Structure 1
Amino acid sequence: MNILNAIMNLVNDPIIDVKEYSDSRNRANSMGAALEEYIKDMFAGTITTTDTKERMKRFSEVFSYSGNQNNPPDFMIKNGDAVEVKKIEGMGSSLALNSSYPKYKIFADSPMLTQACKTAEEWEEKDIIYAVGVLPKNNRLRQLTLVYGVDYAAKEEIYTRIKDSIKNGVNEIPGIELTETRELGRVNRVDPLGITYLRIRGMWGIDNPLKVYDYIYEPNLDKEFNFMAIVNINKYNTLKNKDKFENFIKDRTDITMESVEIKDPNNPVKLVEAKLIKYSL
């Protein structure tokens, strides 16, 4: 299973009312969790599956790992990509990444991953897909975007350089007591009694793909729902079902695919050939 399977499943069974979808299957309480379950169903081909045991069995066949908001990624496809789901409320909203900087790929030796994720299958690195859903307070999905980290985020050293510079700067402040931490820093014994401490955390954020790719894509606001995916040409050519996908969209008017050029996240003057897939209803 891959991104093209997910898109075909979405087009065959589009879901806009995420709350109704979730409630009818008793799957999640929060809308962020409900969106994640829907994205999983897209990739697993279980959008119309109502039997819990059947769905669980299919998930075990398709996915090697499922995490949560504190243990990214949200899920990994066996011998395939990782997926991170993000919910925002408005078309112009940014993505809150909290203490985790953007990922262009994920690596099995990363200290940010759980042991369960690292050993879920035999792997060293995976492409990561950011699935960004615009889900306003009315719980109706307005926009869904799928974009690969390699086309969206810079390489890891860009972010770690800034993080390490800040952390080293904190460590050089004289007259404070520090504790080793995975955060930017922790200062102990701030007050005379020595009972107060200060945690210094990074709170990362990134512009949402609608803003990042506004030079090639604009949602049709007259439509109830819009979908957009960007797949760089190197990745697209590795997808074994691309012929099936091209045949799937050939005679449809609601979904299109075109060749575009996008900015390289590591060098914006360098353009990368990609496929832009659009769908609306």
Structure 2
Amino acid sequence: MANILQAIHTIISNDIPDVVDFYRSNNKINAVGDALELFIKDIFANTLNEIDKVRKQEAYERVFSYTGNANNPPDLMLKLGDAIEVKKLKSESAQIALNSSYPTAKLYSSSQMITKACRECEQWDEKDLLYAIGCVNRHQLSSLWLVYGDCYAASPEIYHNIKTKVIAGINHSTGVEFSPTKELGRVNRVDPLGITSLRIRGMWHVEHPQKVFEYLNVSTNRKNSKFRLFTLMYEKKYLSCPLEDREKLESIDNSSLQIKKVKISFPDNPVKRIAARLITYQI
């Protein structure tokens, strides 16, 4: 079963490509975001160097139970493993646009945001959610954050309560004709002819983990690095990975790789700190 530690080992064992040019030449893709998502697929399937399209597709089928679309989370799901949401940015100072989805600690099969195909791709109720946040500058992947949602996002009710209050405030507006919707609101018959409607949508944003976890001193020597990888997970998640994969990663003799025990703020209560692992790789 593919997992995060195997993906990190794949990155360390291979050159980091100019992702856009690399995938444009091999797959004729045009979008930078598509190239980053293909890169994430390849590090988990260990197919960065696989040029045979049939064998690559067979590897994808072995590793992934679901690959998503632009409108519904997640982008990828590992068989019996994590769900993965890929986000592409041009700058590490930029906020991450989540659109209509608020930050998520876990992915649940009961979520209204996912598709039927995602819900039925395998037997599952809950999956750990991994945010893969890549900074692509001039076609080069300069940094990649692999951070688990439970390190990053609060409990669902915190976001849902805010959404509920906003919806209640909108619906209490007078002199406006509302209709049922899954969004924040929908106003019908805006103009005298009654032919125009207004959709009111939520657009969620979250700070880049580079800023959120600045207290871990993750920016060390960043100006001298061509590529930087940061992986953050709770200690219990790290220890849940197969011993063979942990030992394989820990045995790498490379000064560019560091595996640290750290403590991070609990998203629901920042006063409380949780044991975690920070894995960094800078070249």
TM-score range, shorter chain: over 0.9
* 2:247 is the counterpart of 1:243: yes
Q: Could you tell me how far apart the structure 2 residues matched to 1:122 and 1:99 are?
A: 26
> Which residue in 2 is equivalent to 1:278?
280
Number of corresponding residues: 278
Instruction: Look up the match of 2:258.
Output: 256
Moved more, 218-227 or 32-41: 218-227
Separation (CA, whole Å) in 2 of partners of 1:48 and 1:213: 33
What do residues 66-85 of structure 1 show as CA deviations (whole Å, max 9, x unaligned)?
A: 00221210000000000000
The AA in structure 2 aligned to 1:31 is V
Answer whether contact 2:16 2:227 (CA < 8 A) is retained.
no
5+ residue gaps, structure 1, are none
Q: How far apart in 2 are the matches of 1:28 and 1:103? A: 29
Alpha-carbon shift at residue 48 of structure 1 (Å): 0.5
Residue identity in the other structure for 2:129: I
Partner of 1:177: 177
CA offset digits 1:260-279 (Å, max 9, x no partner): 11111111111111111111
Tell me if structure 2 keeps the 8 A contact 1:16–1:225. Answer: no
- Which stretches of structure 1, 4 residues or longer, exceed 3 Å deviation after superposition? none
Contact 2:86 2:131 in 1 (8 A): yes
Q: Describe the SS at the equivalent of 2:150.
A: helix
Aligned pairs for 1:171-250 (under 5 A) are: 171-216=171-216, 217-219=218-220, 220-240=222-242, 241-247=245-251, 249=252
Find the counterpart in structure 2 of residue 37 from structure 1: 38
Query: Over aligned residue pairs, what C-alpha RMSD do you find?
Result: 1.0
TM-score (norm 1): 0.97
Question: Which residue does 2:4 correspond to in 1?
Answer: 3
1:192 to partner: Cα distance: 1.1
- Between the two proteins, what is the percent identity of the paired residues? 45
Secondary structure (helix, strand or coil) at the match of 1:237 reads: helix
Which letter does structure 2 place at the counterpart of 1:245? Answer: L
Counterpart Cα distance in 2 of 1:9 and 1:162? 40
Q: How far 1:245 moved relative to its partner?
A: 2.0
How far is the alpha carbon of 1:91 from its aligned partner? 1.8
CA distance in 2: counterparts of 1:52 and 1:23, whole angstroms: 14
Q: Which residue of the partner structure matches residue 160 of structure 1? A: 160
1:9-33 residue CA offsets vs partner (Å, 9 max, x unmatched) = 0110132411221123115210011
Residues in 2 aligned to 1:193 and 1:55: alpha-carbon distance in whole angstroms? 56
Q: Secondary structure at the match of 1:199?
A: strand
Q: CA deviation at 1:243?
A: 2.2
Q: What are the ranges of 5 or more consecutive residues in structure 2 without an aligned counterpart? A: none
Counterpart contact for 1:15–1:21, Cα < 8 Å: no
